[in-house]
Every structure is written in C-alpha cells, then in structure tokens.
Structure 1
C-alpha cells in the first residue's frame, strides 16, 4: 500500500475495509485509530470568548498590566485548561508561555475546552455576549452551533 488511506469508522463496511488494509499491510507500516478532531463550528465558537478576554482583561507583561491579543489569551488559557504552565527559557533568561494547538484537540476535549472558556469568562466577569446582541447557542457536547439566542 503506497498511499495513505483514511476510514471514518461509522459503518460495518468501512470497518471491514480498514481491517482488510491492516491485514494486507507491509511489515513496518503504521495504522492509527484516532478520535476525530474538533469541528469548524467548535473552532469558531472559541473566538468570541477569546476576543472578549482580549478587550476586557489585562495581563501582567514585563511588569505592567497590558491588554494582549486573543491569540495571546489563547496561549494563557490553554495552559490553564491543562493545569500546567508550559514555559521555555528565552535566551536572555526570560520565560515565555507556550499554549497548545487546539486544532489537535479531539471533539470531546474541545467540548471541555469550550466549557472551560465559558466558566473562566464567567468567573473573571468577562462579558462575551452583551445582553442587547444576539449570540450563537453552542451545544457543549458537540460544539455545533444550534441556534441564535436574543
């Protein structure tokens, strides 16, 4: 087998074909079974929350409080989500915070991430959706947008 094959294991025939390819694979070939990664709707759902943090909360940067970007908040909050501080020493001895790539999260972990973001926003008093603006309703289990709330 020279090309990469991907099977979505949602029915018996897909499972049969995947099993057959495994049985016919050369010694040393690699087979991987993994949870699907997060959906585009799940990905989109995180940005209003991260944007709200960027506009409403400051972080200590080089000894002073500053507003940082949504991407920088993502780094900070993904480290907090995993309850670890991923740091790398800068060449001048300063510390740099490393976040995680949420694009690598499976659907279930991304659902937990979205729930964490909503809880963190509520705990920090960050208003994600002002009362007068419509907002998307997201199913926390699937991350899918299920409607719009007033």
Structure 2
C-alpha cells in the first residue's frame, strides 16, 4: 500500500526525492495514481492577515447603509478580485455569488486579495489595527509580498 506523499519543490534534492518516489511507485492500471503539481496554497500568516484586515473593514465601513460581517466582506473582495459571476437564488428574490474559496487560493492570489483589501480600506479611511499593521510589516520584512502597502 502506497501512502500519500507531498513534496514542496524548494531545491534539487527534494525534486530528486520526488522523482525517485515516482519511479518506485508500482503501476496498476486498475488502481492508477494521480500526480498533481501546483503552487502552494495560502500560508497561515496570510490567513491571519486576511481576517485581521477584514475585521477592521467590517468594524469601520458602512456599505450602502449596511454593516457587513467579515465573511460578507470576504465574498465582496474575492468576487472583485476574480471577476466572479452571480446567479439568481432558488427563491428568486436575491442573488448568489459563484465564488472561489480563499482556502484554495495560492500564496500569490491571496497576496493580491490582501493588497486589494488594504487599498480599499485606505480609500475608505480605515484605520487598520495593530494586528493588521504588524501582519503587513511581517510580510514586507520577510518578502512574502512586495505589493502590500503599509496603511497607517
């Protein structure tokens, strides 16, 4: 029985290990294996930064006369970033956004989302919390994203 293996291809040695593992995997046409190569999804630090900035937006911005939850703001920003589609809901009295989950976003996609949220917050005069500012400073210091803007 072959167990699931995941490799983060950061250097030649890890790449070599992954290739060797593939070469030693038994082939069985009745039970084929699937190999997927993809960019790493969001980091825990990015996730924390996302929710800190969404919380600041949620607490400080009225959107067309309404206060929205962090989850609702997340839907608005992901829809704006990915040009998502909307369809009528089942009752016919509203709409549903056909969205993308942030948990499946790559590091680069989530960096772009956080950049969009920060730009919107700056336009709306949001004063970002220490948690949000520290998360942005951390990203800038460690080079996770050179696009994020520090908002005072």
- 1:89 corresponds to 2:88: yes
- 1:62-81 map, 5 Å: 65-81=65-81
Whole-angstrom CA distance in 2 between matches of 1:79 and 1:46: 15
Contact 1:35 1:106 in 2 (8 A): yes
2:59 alignment counterpart: 55
2:149 alignment counterpart: none
1:142 alignment counterpart: 144
Q: CA shift at 1:79, angstroms?
A: 0.4
CA RMSD after TM alignment: 2.7
Contact 1:102 1:110 in 2 (8 A): yes
Please report the TM-score for the alignment, with normalisation by the length of structure 1. 0.76
Higher normalized strand content (fraction of residues): 1
1:5 alignment counterpart: 5
Aligned partner of residue 59 in structure 2, secondary structure: helix
Higher normalized helix content (fraction of residues): 2
Aligned partner of residue 128 in structure 1, secondary structure: coil
Q: CA shift at 1:125, angstroms?
A: 2.3
Please report the TM-score for the alignment, with normalisation by the length of structure 2. 0.76
Whole-angstrom CA distance in 2 between matches of 1:134 and 1:110: 15
Give 5+ residue unaligned stretches, structure 2: 146-151
Give 5+ residue unaligned stretches, structure 1: 144-149
Q: How many residues align?
A: 138
Q: Which runs of 4+ in 1 moved over 4 A?
A: none
Whole-angstrom CA distance in 2 between matches of 1:134 and 1:71: 17
In structure 2, do the counterparts of structure 1 residues 80 and 25 end up closer, same or farther at CA, with 3 Å as the change threshold? Answer: farther
